[in-house]
Amino acid sequence: MSLLHSLTADQHKQFFHDEIPYKPMGKYVHFLTVRVTESYPLFQTDGELNKARVRAGIKPANAAPISRLTMFKRKQSTPERLVGRELLRSYDLLTAKECEYNVEFGKNNPDCIIYGFAIGDAGSEKSKVVVDTAFSIMPFDISHETFTLNAPYENGTMASKGEGDSEVGKVTSRINSQDHILPQVFFPSIVTLKDPTEATFLYVFNNLLRTRHYGAQTTRTGKVRNQLVGVIFADGEILSNLRWTQAIYDHLQEQGKLTTVDPLDEDEVMSSAQLTLDELLSEGYVVSTNFLGESFKPLLQEVKALINDATSMKQLLEQADQEAKAYAGKHIKKPEAKAEKTTSNKPGRGK
Amino acid sequence: MVCIRRCQIELHDNLYYATREIGRLYETEPVLHNYALCYALGLVDSDAHGTQVSEEHGYRYFCPEQVPRYQEHLTPFNTQELYITPARALSHAAVLHTWKYANNNYHVEMEKTQKNIPSFGRAKEIAPESLFEFFVISQKPLALPRWIRLGKWMSKAEVKVINSQEVKKSATEQDFTFPYPLNPLDVMFTHQVFSYDVINMPPVSLIAHARIRGYYYHFADLKIPAQMQYRFQAD
């Protein structure tokens, strides 16, 4: 039974598998998104924001390197996974006990099968979702700001009025500073799903649309919106995030839209993202069906309608769950009782 | 006649794999092992390249155990007379990153670790836009993918064929030096290897600047050892 009606029966057959295959079969779907920051997120690992020094654009005129903010792949895929897992739990398809992220994988639910897991002796499932590091279009120096943080007293000031054991009038030294990414910073990013079934395609699509927070979670400031540019079904890999970002930079520069004072205009970024894609895709060597611009609208509308409705959402999750269970039953061998459970501690794939 | 292609790989993302593990530091050497390249280029267990392997060792999404199957996977390359050399860096930069495990709970209390294993560490990775070079030696023409994924993070990289040439094996065995990395297992059964530098990396350390004696292919101004094959045991 098909959930999507904006695709023809032939397209269904061409793009999706009937069941999750156990071998890579060469079907790919690429979700093209521009991740737009809407508050002040933090992507950092070593106490400072992640950045990379790369060429500004593809054109020889823009060959000089700039520092760009980066969003590591695991910082993109982890929140998306967690959103999916939360939903599975809220629809009673997964209990907190059965499967806990990076603690105890259930190995038979859509999250484990689609995004993979690795448990030392008990085997590993390769992730079917692959994400690339995303790079900001604009340079690091104009995409971040240093904030001073303080922890005021109950009275709202930094001077004590005698709270707790403190001395009246004493000024607190609870002050720190932290770099934050500014709002309206754009990260073009392609999320690739290998060998989709219709349900796994929708599962990943839903995770992408619903995830609104990335980066350090405790700061409560990581609002990021995934603005979808399109979906491409292909028989191989398409361009990289870096190439796409550099092409957008070139294009915006040509149009004279790169100013160092104002943030980029979202409409201009989106139209530039789409225009450059058309060009870059024509250089590739893959057979693809592109849903971009006008042709993407009906598909996106339908997916949005599907995931906005409790009945169809439940149906979709159940479908994905059944497929995952069927796959696990068929292809994932039960670990032998003697095998002691150990968790691999090397950095895993795509975590 | 064989066809030799000089190929380049440009990284479009950070590349990480553990060449060395020094406590909590995991270091990536700017050399790509030829076994790894065979997998990354999609040549293993491929119908298109005639390198199918037995069902039992098939390349699957689910791996029941963490045991590599290089011998089973790479021996079919020899019957196809297909060989990939290790890749050396033409230009590269390294970056250090800290990684740690994510936790799903709302509230985390620090507990004393039960096991003596790290939950965080630092990884030395190769930066985007680094450039690598390797050679493909094949009897038949073969189509390489333009985009591949490398290393533990499955980092995207672009493959370009720089030039290709049809070459014949040299008529006689000669002494020559090959400046770039080689897999010693793959040359030592057909060539005499006199001296070399070792590049330490599992599972088979590579050698560079090898002075060797044997047949070779003349490619551009290089002498590339001929008859290289994936060998795992003397027979």
Which of A191-200, B63-72, B140-149 bottoms out in mean pLDDT, i.e. has the lowest?
Answer: B63-72
Q: For residues B20-48, give the mean pLDDT.
A: 92
**pTM, full prediction:** 0.90
Q: In this predicted structure, what is the pLDDT of residue A342?
A: 47
**Which of the four pLDDT bands, split at 50, 70 and 90, describes residue A337?**
very low
Rounded-to-integer distance, Cα A197 and Cα A325, Å: 14
Q: Would an 8 Å CB–CB cutoff place B22 in contact with chain A?
A: no
Whether B13 sits inside 8 A of A73 (CB atoms) is yes
Please answer whether residues A27 and A287 qualify as being in contact, where contact means their C-beta atoms are separated by less than 8 angstroms. Answer: no
Q: How confident is the model at residue A153 (pLDDT cuts 50, 70, 90)?
A: confident
Q: Say if B24 is an interface residue toward chain A (CB within 8 Å).
A: no
In the predicted model, is pLDDT for residue A12 greater than 90?
yes
Check whether A340 has a pLDDT greater than 50: no
**Is residue A217 classed as helix, strand or coil in its secondary structure?**
coil
Residue A168, pLDDT score: 86
Lowest mean pLDDT among A47-61, A114-128, B204-218: A114-128
Q: What is the model's pLDDT at position B97? A: 83
Which is nearest to B9 in space by CA: B45, B48, B40?
B40
Q: Of A216, A186, A180, which Cα lies nearest the Cα of A276?
A: A186
Q: What is the distance between the alpha carbons of residues B168 and A47, in angstroms, rounded to a whole number?
A: 56
CA angle (A208, A89, A75) in 5-degree steps: 35
pLDDT at A318: 96
Query: Which residues of chain B neighbour A348 with C-beta distances below 8 Å?
Result: 152
Looking at CA atoms only, how far is residue A176 from chain B in angstroms?
22
Query: What rounded mean pLDDT belongs to chain B?
Result: 89
**CB-count exposure of residue A311 (10 Å: 0-12, 13-18, 19+):** exposed
pLDDT at B85: 97
Q: Among A70-79, A282-291, A334-343, B148-157, which is the least confidently predicted range?
A: A334-343
User: What is the structure's pLDDT at B115?
Assistant: 56
Among A14, A342, A183, which Cα is nearest to B115's?
A342
Asked if the Cβ–Cβ distance from A126 to B99 is below 8 Å, we say no
Residue of B nearest to A50 (CA): B97
Per-range mean pLDDT, top range of A170-174, B103-107, B109-113, B228-232: B228-232
The Cα angle at residue A318 between residues A317 and A321, in degrees rounded to 5: 85
- pLDDT tens-place string over residues A256-303: 998 878 899 999 999 999 999 989 998 878 899 999 999 999 999 999
Interchain CB contacts (distance < 8 Å): A and B: 135
Is A20 or B98 the better-scoring residue by pLDDT? A20
**Nearest CB to B149; choose among A22, A130, A346:** A130
φ, ψ for residue A293 (rounded to 5)?
60, -125
Nearest to A54 among B58, B104, B128 (CB): B128
Residues of A with CB below 8 A from B97's CB? 45-46, 50, 72
- When pLDDT is averaged across residues B179-206 and rounded to a whole number, the result is 94
d(CA A252, CA A272): 7
Q: Distance (Å, rounded) from C-alpha A28 to C-alpha A347?
A: 26
Note the pLDDT of residue B125: 93
CA distance B213 to chain A (A): 40
Q: Which residue of B has its CA nearest to A347?
A: B99
**pLDDT surpassing 90 at residue A164:** no
Which of residues A53 and B141 earns the better pLDDT score? A53
Which chain B residues are closer than 8 Å to A240 by Cβ? 12-13, 147, 156, 158
User: Which span out of A80-89, A113-122, B57-66, B94-103 was modeled with the highest average pLDDT?
Assistant: A80-89
- Nearest-Cα distance to chain B for A275, in Å, is 21
Tokens of B168: 């014949």
> Are B166 and B2 within 8 A, CB to CB?
yes
* pLDDT given at position A1: 60
Nearest to A100 among B104, B117, B143 (CB): B104
Q: Say which of A53, A123, A236 has its CB closest to residue B63.
A: A123
Residue A243: predicted pLDDT:
96
Mean pLDDT (chain A, rounded): 89
- Provide the pLDDT confidence category of residue B42 given band limits of 50, 70 and 90: very high
**Residue bearing tokens 């995830």:** A211
B125–A contact, CB cutoff 8 A: no
pLDDT value of position B67: 84
Residue-wise pLDDT for A52-109, tens only, equals 999 999 999 999 999 999 999 888 999 999 999 999 999 999 998 888 887 788 889 9
The DSSP bridge pattern shows strands B25-27 and B120-126 to be parallel
Euclidean distance between CA atoms A163 and A155, whole angstroms: 9
CB contact under 8 A, B58 and A23: yes
pLDDT value of position A339: 43
HEC assignment per residue over chain B: CEEEEEEEEEECCCECCCCEEECCEEECCCEECHHHHHHHCCCCCCCCCCCCCCHHHCCCCEECCCCCCHHHHHHHHHHCCEEECCEEEEECCEEEEEEECCCCCCCCCCCCCCCCCCCEEEEEEECCCCEEEEEEEECCCCCCCCEEEECCCCEEEEEEEEEEEEECECCCCEEEEECCCECHHHHCCCCEEEEEEEECCCCCCEEEEEEEEECEEEECCEEEECCCCCCCCCC
What pLDDT band is residue B117 in, cutting at 50, 70 and 90? Answer: low
CB nearest A236 (choices: B18, B66, B145): B145
The distance of A23 to chain B (nearest Cα, Å) reads 5
pLDDT at B103 over 60: no
In A, which residues are within 8 Å of B121 by CB distance?
347
- Is the complex ipTM higher than 0.95? no
Report which residue type is found at B176. Answer: F
Distance, in Å, from the CA atom of A231 to the CA atom of A193, rounded to the nearest integer, reads 11
Taking only the tens place, the pLDDT of each residue in A217-230 is 665 778 999 999 99
Spell out which residues of chain A touch residue B149, defining contact as CB-CB under 8 Å: 130, 237
